[in-house]
Chain A
Amino acid sequence: MDGSIFIPLRLSLQVALAATVLVVLIGTLMSFILARKTFRGKELLDILLTLPLVLPPTVVGYYLILFMGRNGLLGKYLFHWTGWSIMFTWYAAVLASFIVALPLMIKTTRAAFESVDQNLIKVSYTLGRGELKTFFKVILPLSKKGMIAGAVLSFARAMGEFGATLMVAGNIPGKTATMPIAIYTSASSGDWAKANGMVLFFTLVSAAFLYIANRLSKRGAW
């Protein structure tokens, strides 16, 4: 087995972990807002946040280029002020993975928040705890299983991201060629031996993560 299959694997893990951290943080915040607050445009926000789940990854990639490309709606200001563009960097891969995985986290976490017994929350308020404290001490602990499931799904989705990633991060071996992309290149160039090695490894690593996640969500701890 060629030692260099570890480079795409390392990149995939790096990108997926970074994306999952962002997904958990922002996903939890968004889920809280959607579960506990009402405001005008809430439906629209919900749809916008869910869209990447149903849109093909190439459409997501397209929008990312539209916004974040060097000539993009936002990207051009970023380039103008800093001389830096996110395109063709591993940050772009993180961004792509983040966007496609976020809906998964929000769906599961929001459901978990909404299923917390309202009475418990009310009791917390009557006992003098504010909204934020209640969130951290009552809602969050009771939603742990749903949140872990969301995080695992997000991580898996981030590891497997290909279409949007290829469009914004490109195929740069060692820098942005994550494992799905490296497998694609190996298969495209007829290097089946290398592709086989990577596919096997990827499958085993993903299965291992799923196993760990299942154990975690079953009892909340090892």
Chain B
Amino acid sequence: MTKCLRVLMVGLCFSVLFLAAEGRAQSSSAHEITVSAAISLKDAFEEIGKLFMRAHPETRVVFNFAGSGDLARQIEAGAPVDVFASAAQKDMDDLDRQGLIAKNARKNFAKNSVVLVKPVASTIPIQSLKDLQRGDVKKVVIGNPRTVPAGRYAEEALRHLNLWDTIKDRVIFAEHVRQALDYVARNEVDAGLVYSTDAMARSKDVKVVARLPEGSYQPVVYPIGVIKGIRAEALSRAFTDFVLSAEGQRVLTKYGFIAGGPSM
């Protein structure tokens, strides 16, 4: 290798190491928080994060979006998470029971509903939940009930409506609700059960057929909580307060959530 190239390579290595060290120093400060949030909150929380950072200069909010069950397991395993927002009370309860949530730091902040969707590109006439039993409906996607709240709500509703036994052989499980949405949007499946907020996010590719009847599944109430014993507790509480504030609630309603703040 020529001398010039060698110098360049060494310089590159040092730059990479320097940047890595810089990054590490920042994340252990009291000015950066990691928020693990249910993936259905992705668009709303990313916007809330931007507004929060603008209102609190010198701070950084890092998001980790996935199925609520996966996120809860990560926190149980000691992942360095400061705030947790899940799509069901159950996942927060799991952590609460293990004493992982800070005192008085758990609040409900939004509500959602589950809808039946079909691909815009699909030619199968699905007009109601009963149509899921049609012979030409071969694949229906829901979140994996073992780890995904949306999947649990979906299964609960389908059982309540006496549809589960007839269609359970056509049901495909997705690892989180946005994956379920993607399967429908890509016309890989004939129908799916996702949140109304998800359907809104991909309204070009996905058509809402029906809302699941109220009472067929437990209410979808999103809790947010601060993890116990973290370094950036003040900033984390400030973030949850922001989510519950008028501004935060405005963003949530913009993306189709029903306000679930203190006035609930």
Contact A170 B147 (CB under 8 A): no
Q: Contacts A88-B172, A171-B175, A172-B172 known; A188 to B187 CB distance under 8 Å?
A: no
The B interface is mostly helix, strand or loop, or mixed, namely loop
> CA–CA, A71 to B147, complex, Å?
28
- Does A217 reach chain B (CB closer than 8 Å)? no
Chain A stretch 179-201: residues in CB contact (< 8 A) with chain B: 185, 187-191
> CA–CA, A172 to B144, complex, Å?
9
Name the residue on B nearest A176 (C-beta): B172
> B147: shortest Cβ distance to chain A, in Å?
5
Contact A71 B187 (CB under 8 A): yes
Stretch at the interface among B41-49, B69-77, B244-252: B69-77
Residues of A within 8 A of B (CB-CB), count: 17
Contact B146 A87 (CB under 8 A): no
Contact A190 B70 (CB under 8 A): no
**Residues of the B chain whose Cβ atoms lie less than 8 Å from the Cβ of A188:** 67, 69-70, 73, 146-147
- The residue from A69, A185, A190 contacting B188, defined by CB atoms under 8 A apart: A69
Known: A88-B189, A189-B147. 18 other contacts (CB 8 A): A69-B188, A70-B186, A70-B188, A71-B187, A87-B188, A166-B175, A170-B172, A170-B173, A171-B172, A173-B173, A185-B147, A188-B70, A188-B146, A189-B146, A190-B73, A190-B76, A190-B94, A191-B146
Chain A residues packing against B (C-beta within 8 Å): 69-71, 85, 87-88, 166, 170-173, 185, 187-191
Chain B residues packing against A (C-beta within 8 Å): 67, 69-70, 73, 76, 94, 121, 139, 144, 146-147, 171-175, 186-189
